[in-house]
């Protein structure tokens, strides 16, 4: 029984439950719904939920636990060699999967598929016909394991259907039994709904846990193969898929920070001055036009900025600055990525600063103007110092954005890991290397791939600290004027 | 509240400091001030009284062009400071405000030290060339604001850490540090407790020896206590202007009488 | 006004030196602010201008009209017109037919100084496959001479769009001046034209050598699938999570933890979500690579904070008096929220959701990690199975094209960005309209 059919069956039961619960409740009230504790639909919903919820829980548990159990029992059939256990198991699954498909396409009969006679080459050929390419012809142990795997999987699928439907029916009957006019159906249903609400809200926490756990787990695998000291303090980045790689993070961090720094050099003054002009000087007309226009920049996807860096800014900088001044020959450079990222951050800095400047009470400005200060003196000596913590927070948030930005640097910064001061040279960043190590052919056993998780963990830790700090500063700042 | 009777309430100087002729103020299309004519004398405390929304604060803010910061606000008529029209295009509001200082309803010290709060005006106007001069101005202003003894040991502490009454006196010290000729006060005691109010009122009376003071107040007792001249505003009109004693004891306009006796307000 | 000289220093009519200096500083400061705004606007204009400039031509394509003779001897020796048998004739057989047709036309026009191979290369490599499909669908065409419209090679197309000229053709091994002359002659004769190309929007991707045939069909479909998944998951989860946090959550540690997590997730770099997707959905849960379902799940997690923040803001803006009124007539808290507060907050929630979707639509980095950057030529099946088929997405397709060697792909990438921006503009316009229409001030 496939998941889809189980699901449809359970939904059907739940629908039946709804009407059964309703009817039973109305009957228990002798047809007068006013004597019921809750509305009839609440009783219906209660029975319906009872049919649905336990079944879904059983289904979910089964789907998580059963593959793990099958895997471990099948793995015991295979000749044990520590390193390739995962790979061997993968082969088994692919063969099993291939046989399933061959049966589905009618190439071999179901019976034959469980007792596959023939040389390994024939098997490989059969599987090739359904689109499962094997590296080499499978040996007998693997074939036996595959057969056992398929048998167990099929058995598991059958019992899964039985268990889920049994759970559904059992809970439904139980719910019907307690349904009568005194029963507080609404309160019970609302408790379930509230539970679901809590579950939804908790997804944010689960996501964070998922992020941290997945990266920690793979990073641990990485550090088991590559010394952590060399990773964090190595000054050379030279991955080599044949082994013997140098995987020092320092050149990547340098590129990341250098590019972010240049981006902030562009974005902070422009964004801040734009915000100052908008909140302190601009008339309503200019504000109505300029503010949304600048905020449009924030809605543009980063891939667009990336292309802008690649085809416009990069060649421009190379032809008019780097080459004539003898700084370099590369269109992708720290400068290219930095400027374009700076443009991306302008609206970010300006709208955050705008909010923050607006939070400075008008009475402060009045006090200063009333003393005969010019507007710019008021801004520089009263408004900005008052807003400073908030603005620092905004800049930190912008910095965190810049450090985590991917597409602009992938397309504008280059791929060479270098520790150089020349901003017209191509350099690379942590995010670029995460992308390059995890796309294309990846082998999740080699340090060259796993390093991406360690890079991701570093990036996550870095930006998380910046975000927490920035959010804390901004919140403190707001509280001050509330 | 102590009903103190301040001495020496005769007007000592009859010279006109500010003269307003036919002043009208509009917010967009609404006319908030209607044809106001008033003379404000130097070395005198003039009180503007009237019910809420009568335009007294609006008119006060016209006197040092603080209304310029409100986009929709428009002023018609002439306001002369020492015979010079403050709304003349040649006038720089910055210079004007250096001469006509302002203290606001709510104490609004800058988030800086007490010293920097007071030194702010002298610094931007370049009134002191040496640190010692600036120290002198700060001390002098704080003394005039009757705050020196309370804060002399903690001049570098933030101004926002003072109590409400102290903060308002700090704001007064800040305003007088630039040696203005006129000091405008917009309900300076409305956010203060009675004791702080009494301190500030005492201070205002003392300031009269150096400045011409215009004070907007909600409280008739306060106007009676601190001012020599009183102007009563009602619905944007200047209803009555005269010696405080006269206005309070023998008002000429029935509306003034109604207000003073508590029938409108 | 003639003031006495002693009074000059105190007259407010005459600005003293210090005031002049201060006013100059004021003017400068204002100018900086204005310059900053103009710098921002200029950046926007440059960005959009450069994309439009590079990409507008992607919507047009150069086509050549060829009269192709379809000889039975080559295409269907058996003569039974059975498509199964005719499939044996591959594109290798069809390509020379097109070339010969074009040769004949050029001969007619008097263009002779061009080699046979060069003529063949003027036609897109995709054309032979198109002709083959056309013939397989209409076997009775064999033996006739039919007019057939083919895509011109990318370089010829580039010539009519200004990317290629005679000087560059001299240096380019992919195109020769003779071909350009021939193309000009064809244009004069009306057999070649550059016009709107629907294939750009509907066709699947094409390989490196045939930029002229590459289209966005699979990418648009993939993006739509992912948006569907995001909408179906993120909206209910986001709304229920917000309802809990805004209406029911007690102040305890778990609530605090959720709050902190949501605000932090909103600022986590998008690529980290890609790593999550790769590790959890693909490596752990065993979902297929390049599938819209995985992309949709990753984007859902990314979009959730945006939707939650918007939803909470609009729930918060419903005044408590509404809740009190409902509770006052005996509704349970749950009924008050679902019957009264939620409908009133709906426009705000929708606006937030659309903005979240727009954000998700443009997101690239996490999709690279879950394998959506693959070369996909097959359209995914209809949902729900299609959600598990390999597909690509608009932004990833754009990235993919920028990594190709042929500069004609840059034009297509820019064109694809125009499409992407159009989608975003429409979505944001709907959001703005919803807000204008239903915004309520309490």
Residues contacting C209, CB < 8 A, separation 6+: C125, C406
Structural Rg of chain A based on CA atoms: 32
Per-residue model confidence (pLDDT) at position B14 = 65
pLDDT digits (tens, 9 = 90+) for B188-200: 888 788 888 888 8
- pLDDT tens across C24-72, in order? 999 999 999 999 999 999 999 999 999 998 888 889 899 998 888 888 8
Residue A384's pLDDT is 92
| pLDDT at residue C1 is higher than 60 | no
In this structure, are residues A426 and A314 in contact, taking their beta carbons and an 8 Å threshold?
no
ipTM here: 0.89
At residue C405, does pLDDT exceed 50? yes
pLDDT beyond 60 at C347: yes
Mean pLDDT for chain C overall: 87
Confidence (pLDDT) at C154: 86
Judge: A204–C362 Cβ closer than 8 Å, yes or no. no
Just give the CATH number of B16-260: 3.40.50.300
Q: CA C207 from chain center: how many Å?
A: 19
Strand partners, B241: B231
- Of the candidate ranges A113-127, C146-160, C346-360, the one whose mean pLDDT is the lowest: A113-127
Question: Are C22 and B95 inside 8 Å of each other by CB?
Answer: no
| Residues of chain B contacting residue C19, judged by C-beta atoms under 8 Å apart | 92, 94-95
Query: What sign has the CA pseudo-torsion A337, A340, A346, A348?
Result: negative
Q: Residue A360: CB partners within 8 Å, gap ≥ 6? A: A383, A386, A387, A481
**Pair A250, A234: CB distance under 8 Å:** yes
Location of structure tokens 């898929």: A241
**Ramachandran sector of residue B82 (left: φ over 0; alpha: ψ -120 to 50; beta: rest):** left
Is the CATH code 3.40.50.1110 the one for domain A237-481? no
Distance CA A188, CA C157 (A): 69
Residue B125 to residue A455: CA distance in whole angstroms: 55
Once rounded to an integer, what is the mean pLDDT over residues B89-103? 88
Residue ranges per structural domain of chain A: 3-183, 237-481
Quick check: A377 contacting C, CB < 8 Å? yes
**Residues of C with Cβ-Cβ distance to B91 under 8 angstroms:** 12-13
Q: Which candidate in C37, C307, C337 is best for mutational testing of the A interface (most A CBs within 10 A)?
A: C37
pLDDT category of residue A115 using cuts at 50, 70 and 90: low
Q: What is the pLDDT of residues A366-384, one digit of tens each?
A: 999 988 899 999 999 999 9
Cα three-residue angle C217-C218-C220, rounded to 5 degrees: 70
Q: Do residues C229 and C296 make contact, with C-beta atoms less than 8 angstroms apart? A: yes
Percent of chain B with pLDDT over 90: 26
- CA-based nearest residue to A177, from A374, A373, A25, A405: A25
Q: Is B117 on the interface with A (CB under 8 A)?
A: no
Position C6 confidence tier, pLDDT thresholds 50, 70, 90 = very low
In this prediction, residue A131 has a pLDDT band, given cuts at 50, 70 and 90, of low
- Per-residue pLDDT tens digits for A60-110: 888 878 877 887 777 777 766 545 566 677 777 777 777 777 777 766 666
**What's chain A's average pLDDT?**
85
Q: What average pLDDT score do residues C291-296 get? A: 91
Domains of chain C: 56-197 (no CATH), 217-438 (1.10.3720.10)
Whole-angstrom Cα distance, residue C323 to residue C337? 7
Chain B residues 92-121 within an 8 A CB cutoff of chain C:
92, 94-96, 99
Cα–Cα distance for residue pair B145/C170, rounded to 1 Å: 88
Q: Which chain C residues are closer than 8 Å to B86 by Cβ?
A: 12
> With an 8 Å Cβ cutoff, are A215 and C32 in contact?
no
Could you report the per-residue pLDDT of A395-412, keeping only the tens digit for each? Answer: 999 999 999 999 999 999
Q: Which residue has the tokens 């050099």?
A: A265
pLDDT at B13: 54
Q: Is the pLDDT of residue A116 over 70?
A: no
CA-CA distances (angstroms) from residue A156 to A65, A167, A176, A279, A464?
A: 11, 16, 30, 66, 43
Q: How many CB atoms lie within 10 A of CB C294?
A: 27
Of the partner residues B84, B125, B126, the one whose CB lies closest to the CB of residue C12: B84
CB contact at 8 A, C47 and A305: yes
Q: Is C11 on the interface with B (CB under 8 A)?
A: yes
Q: Which residues does residue B216 pair with via DSSP β-bridges, in sequence order?
A: B48, B186
C126 and C213 in contact (C-beta within 8 Å)?
yes
Q: For chain C, give the percent of residues with pLDDT over 70.
A: 97
Q: CA-based angle A410:A415:A420, to the nearest 5? A: 115
Confidence band of B111 (pLDDT split at 50, 70, 90): confident
Q: Show the tokens assigned to C173.
A: 């091994």
Chain A residue closest in CA terms to B160: A480
Residue A21 scores a pLDDT above 90:
no
Are C257 and A205 within 8 A, CB to CB?
yes
DSSP B161: G
Q: Supply the DSSP string of B102-140, one letter for each residue.
A: EE-SS----SSBHHHHHHHHHHHHT--SSHHHHHHHHHH
DSSP 3-state percent helix, strand, coil across chain A (nearest 5): 80, 0, 20
Helices A334-359 and C17-55: angle between axes, nearest 10 degrees: 130
Task: In whole angstroms, give the CA distance from residue C81 to residue B232.
Answer: 108
Element housing A162 (H / E) = helix A140-178
**Residue A8 contacts by C-beta under 8 Å, 6 or more apart in sequence?**
none
C73 three-class SS: helix
Spatial distance between the Cα atoms of A429 and A417, rounded to a whole number of angstroms? 8
- Which pLDDT value is given to residue B9? 47
* Chains in touch with B (≥3 Cβ pairs < 8 A): A, C
Residue C2: the pLDDT is 36
């Amino acid at each position: 029984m496939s998941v889809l059919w189980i699901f449809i069956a359970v939904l059907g039961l739940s629908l039946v439950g709804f009407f059964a619960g309703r009817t039973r409740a109305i009957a228990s009230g002798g047809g007068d719904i006013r004597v019921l504790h809750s509305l009839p639909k609440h009783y219906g919903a209660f029975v319906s939920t009872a049919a649905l919820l336990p079944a879904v829980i059983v289904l979910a548990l089964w789907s998580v636990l059963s593959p793990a159990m099958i895997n471990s029992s099948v793995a015991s059939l295979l000749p044990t060699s520590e390193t390739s256990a995962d790979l061997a198991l993968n082969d088994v699954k692919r063969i099993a999967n291939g046989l399933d498909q061959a049966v589905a396409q009618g190439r071999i009969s179901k019976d034959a598929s469980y007792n596959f006679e023939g040389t390994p080459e024939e098997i490989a050929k059969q599987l090739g016909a359904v689109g499962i390419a094997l590296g080499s012809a499978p040996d007998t142990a693997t074939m036996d394991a595959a057969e056992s795997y398929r048998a167990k999987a099929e058995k598991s699928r059958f019992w899964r259907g039985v268990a889920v439907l049994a759970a559904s029916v059992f809970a439904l009957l139980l719910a019907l039994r307690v349904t009568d006019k005194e029963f507080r159906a609404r309160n019970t249903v609302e408790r379930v709904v509230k539970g679901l609400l809590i579950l939804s809200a908790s997804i944010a926490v689960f996501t964070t846990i998922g992020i941290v756990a997945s990266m920690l787990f793979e990073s641990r695998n990485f550090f088991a193969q590559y010394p952590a000291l060399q990773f964090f303090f190595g000054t050379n980045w030279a991955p080599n898929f044949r082994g013997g790689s140098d995987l020092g993070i320092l050149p990547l961090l340098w590129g990341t920070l250098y590019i972010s720094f240049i981006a902030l050099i562009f974005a902070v003054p422009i964004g801040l001055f734009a915000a100052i002009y908008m909140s302190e000087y601009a008339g309503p007309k200019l504000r109505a036009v300029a503010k949304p226009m600048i905020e449009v920049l924030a809605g543009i996807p980063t891939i667009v900025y990336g292309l802008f860096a690649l085809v416009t800014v990069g060649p421009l900088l190379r032809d008019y600055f780097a080459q004539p001044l003898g700084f370099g020959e590369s269109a992708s450079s720290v400068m290219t990525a930095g400027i374009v990222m700076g443009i991306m951050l302008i609206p970010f800095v300006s709208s955050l600063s705008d909010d923050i400047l607006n939070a400075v009470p008008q009475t402060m400005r009045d006090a200063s103007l009333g003393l005969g200060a010019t507007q710019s003196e008021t801004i520089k000596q009263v408004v900005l110092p008052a807003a400073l913590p908030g603005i620092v927070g905004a800049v930190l948030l912008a910095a965190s954005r810049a450090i985590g930005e991917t597409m602009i640097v992938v397309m504008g910064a280059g791929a060479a890991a270098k520790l150089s001061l020349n901003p017209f040279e191509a350099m690379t960043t942590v995010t670029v290397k995460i992308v390059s190590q995890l796309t294309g052919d990846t082998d999740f056993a080699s340090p060259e791939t796993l390093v991406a998780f360690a890079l991701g963990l570093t990036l996550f830790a870095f930006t998380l600290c910046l975000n927490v700090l920035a959010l804390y500063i901004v919140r403190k700042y707001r509280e001050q004027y509330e | 509240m102590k009903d103190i009777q301040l001495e020496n309430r005769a007007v000592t100087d009859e010279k006109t400091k500010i003269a307003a002729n036919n002043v009208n103020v509009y917010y967009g299309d609404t006319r908030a001030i209607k044809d106001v004519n008033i003379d404000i004398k130097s070395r005198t405390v003039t009180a503007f009284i009237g019910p809420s929304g009568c335009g007294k604060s609006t008119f006060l803010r016209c006197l040092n062009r603080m209304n310029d910061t409100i986009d929709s606000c428009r002023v018609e008529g002439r306001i002369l400071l020492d015979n010079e029209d403050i709304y003349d295009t040649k006038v720089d509001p910055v210079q004007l405000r250096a001469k006509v200082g302002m203290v606001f309803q709510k104490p609004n010290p800058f988030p800086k030290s007490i010293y920097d709060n007071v030194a702010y005006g002298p610094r931007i106007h370049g009134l002191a060339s040496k640190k010692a001069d600036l120290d002198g101005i700060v001390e002098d202003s704080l003394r005039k604001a009757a705050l020196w003894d309370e804060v002399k040991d903690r001049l570098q502490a933030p101004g926002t850490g003072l109590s409400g009454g102290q903060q308002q006196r700090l704001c007064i010290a800040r305003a007088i540090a630039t040696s203005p000729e006129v000091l405008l006060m917009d309900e300076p005691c409305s956010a203060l407790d009675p004791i702080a109010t009494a301190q500030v009122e005492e201070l205002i009376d003392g300031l009269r020896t150096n400045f011409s003071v215009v004070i907007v107040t909600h409280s008739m007792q306060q106007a009676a206590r601190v001012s020599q001249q009183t102007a009563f505003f009602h619905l944007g009109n200047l209803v009555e202007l005269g010696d405080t004693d006269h206005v309070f004891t023998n008002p000429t306009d029935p509306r003034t009488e109604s207000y003073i006796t508590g029938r409108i307000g | 006004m003639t003031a006495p000289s002693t009074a000059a220093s105190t007259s407010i009519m005459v600005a003293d030196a210090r005031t002049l200096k201060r006013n100059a500083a004021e003017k400068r400061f204002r100018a900086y602010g204005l310059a900053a705004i103009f710098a921002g606007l200029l950046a926007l204009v440059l960005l959009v201008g450069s994309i439009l400039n590079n990409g507008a031509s992607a919507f047009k394509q150069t086509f050549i009209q060829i009269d192709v003779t379809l000889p039975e001897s080559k295409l269907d020796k058996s003569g039974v017109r059975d498509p199964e048998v005719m499939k044996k004739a591959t594109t290798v057989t069809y390509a020379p037919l097109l070339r010969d047709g074009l040769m004949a036309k050029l001969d007619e026009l008097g263009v002779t100084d061009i080699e046979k191979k060069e003529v063949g290369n003027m036609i897109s490599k995709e054309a032979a496959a198109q002709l083959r499909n056309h013939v397989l669908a209409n076997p009775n065409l064999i033996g006739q001479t039919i007019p057939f419209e083919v895509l011109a090679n990318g370089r010829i197309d580039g010539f009519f769009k200004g990317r290629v000229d005679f000087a560059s053709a001299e240096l380019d091994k992919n195109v020769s001046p003779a071909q350009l002359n021939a193309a000009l002659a064809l244009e004069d004769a009306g057999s070649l034209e550059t016009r709107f190309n629907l294939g750009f929007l509907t066709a699947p991707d094409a390989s490196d050598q045939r930029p002229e045939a590459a289209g966005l069909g699979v990418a648009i479909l993939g993006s739509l699938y992912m948006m569907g998944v995001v909408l179906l998951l993120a909206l209910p989860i986001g709304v229920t999570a917000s309802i809990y946090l805004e209406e029911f959550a007690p102040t305890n540690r778990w609530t605090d933890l959720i709050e902190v997590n949501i605000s932090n997730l909103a600022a986590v770099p998008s690529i980290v979500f890609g790593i999550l997707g790769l590790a959890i959905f693909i490596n752990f849960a065993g979902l297929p690579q390049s599938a819209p379902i995985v992309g949709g799940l990753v984007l859902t997690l990314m979009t959730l904070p945006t939707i939650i923040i918007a939803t909470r803001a609009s729930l918060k803006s419903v005044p408590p008096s509404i809740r009190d009124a409902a509770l006052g007539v005996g509704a349970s808290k749950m009924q008050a929220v679902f019957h009264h507060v939620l409908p009133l907050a709906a426009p705000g929630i929708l606006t937030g959701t659309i903005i979240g979707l727009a954000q998700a639509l443009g997101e690239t980095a996490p999709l690279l990690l879950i394998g959506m950057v693959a070369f996909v030529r097959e359209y995914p099946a209809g949902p729900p199975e299609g959600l598990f088929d390999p597909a690509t997405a608009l932004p990833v397709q754009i990235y993919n094209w920028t990594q190709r060697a042929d500069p004609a792909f840059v034009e297509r990438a820019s064109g694809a960005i125009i499409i992407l921006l159009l989608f975003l503009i429409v979505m944001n316009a709907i959001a703005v309209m919803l807000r204008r229409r239903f915004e309520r001030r309490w």
